């Protein structure tokens, strides 16, 4: 794998994962103006927590596609094999490591997002008592 690809793939993945959901971007200006009103309305705060938890859960599901893609890539690596001279074993191992790293990092990110979703649900439950 070229050095450029090794550098670009993690950056693209990071950009996709860290971009705020489109609904969050649309609410940023409005959120500043409504902060005082929301602070006095526990039901609205609970609703916002549940909405944020749902956003995280949706992103977790989106990342399932990244994991599945790279798991399939590992299974299909034989398609990229020509012969030992043209496709030496170290190149196959490099591809396998690439897939393993992305799968591992994505699953870690999904775990972190799951914790955040659970945290938001817990805060909403506290406010709904």
Per-residue pLDDT tens listing for the chain (129 residues)? 456 556 656 655 666 666 666 555 556 666 666 665 556 788 999 999 999 999 999 999 999 999 999 999 888 876 766 676 776 677 778 888 999 999 999 999 999 999 999 999 999 999 988
Give the C-alpha distances (Å, rounded to integers) separating 124 from 52, 56, 68, 75, 121: 10, 15, 32, 42, 5
> Do you know the residue count of the chain?
129
Measured between alpha carbons, how far is 16 from 106 in angstroms, rounded to an integer?
12
Cα(108)–Cα(110) distance, integer angstroms: 5
Q: Cα–chain-centroid distance for residue 59? A: 6
Which residues, other chains included, contact 9 with Cβ-Cβ below 8 Å and sequence gap of 6+?
98, 102
**What pLDDT does 89 receive?**
72
Task: Judge whether 55 and 47 are in contact, CB under 8 Å.
Answer: no
């Amino acid at each position: 794998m070229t050095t450029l690809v090794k550098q670009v793939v993690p950056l693209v993945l990071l950009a996709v994962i860290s971009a705020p959901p489109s609904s969050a971007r649309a609410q940023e200006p409005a959120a500043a103006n409504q902060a005082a009103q929301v602070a006095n309305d526990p039901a609205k705060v609970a609703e916002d927590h549940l909405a944020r938890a749902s956003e995280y859960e949706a992103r977790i599901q989106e990342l399932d596609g990244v994991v599945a893609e790279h798991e399939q890539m590992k299974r299909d690596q034989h398609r990229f094999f020509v012969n030992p001279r043209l496709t030496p074993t170290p190149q196959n191992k490099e591809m396998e490591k690439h897939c393993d790293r992305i799968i591992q990092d994505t699953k870690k990110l999904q775990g972190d997002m799951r914790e955040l979703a659970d945290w938001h649900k817990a805060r909403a439950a506290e406010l709904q008592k």
